[in-house]
Copies of this chain bind each other. A is one copy, B any other.
Amino acid sequence: MGASKTDHFSDNHNQMASIAKALGHPARIAIVEFLAKSEACICTDIVDILPLSQPTVSQHLRELKSAGIIKGTVEGNAICYCLNQEVLSILKEYIGKLAIIKTCC
């Protein structure tokens, strides 16, 4: 006991939770926001904008990538990151459905 009982929930609930979970850290929010504000994909600069060490940033990037929120392309000895709009749209749609005012409470 301690691990979450993933297999007791629907695929959809698990997917939404894993996307939300990946965004559930201020460093990862900062990364995603930085990529969103950039005109193009970003190589190199991500470590510089965060108050965290390079290995820690690398770990956060991996989590965002494994949730599908960002994509990374190898570009020489650097890696270019950008947002995966498909996955963000899934989240957007989902939150949109929840955020509908109802006449109660």
- Residues of A at the B interface (CB closer than 8 Å) are 4-6, 8-10, 13-14, 16-18, 20-30, 32-33, 36, 39-41, 51-52, 71, 73, 80, 82-83, 85, 88-89, 91-92, 95-102, 104-105
Contact = CB atoms under 8 A, between A and B. Distances in A.
B91 A95 contact: yes
B20 A102 contact: no
Contacts of A104: 39-41, 82
Given A88-B95, A91-B99, A99-B88, A20 B29 contact: yes
A28 B18 CA distance: 12
Contacts of A32: 98
16 contacts: A8-B26, A13-B30, A13-B33, A18-B24, A20-B20, A20-B29, A23-B24, A24-B24, A32-B98, A36-B98, A40-B102, A85-B99, A85-B100, A88-B99, A92-B99, A95-B95
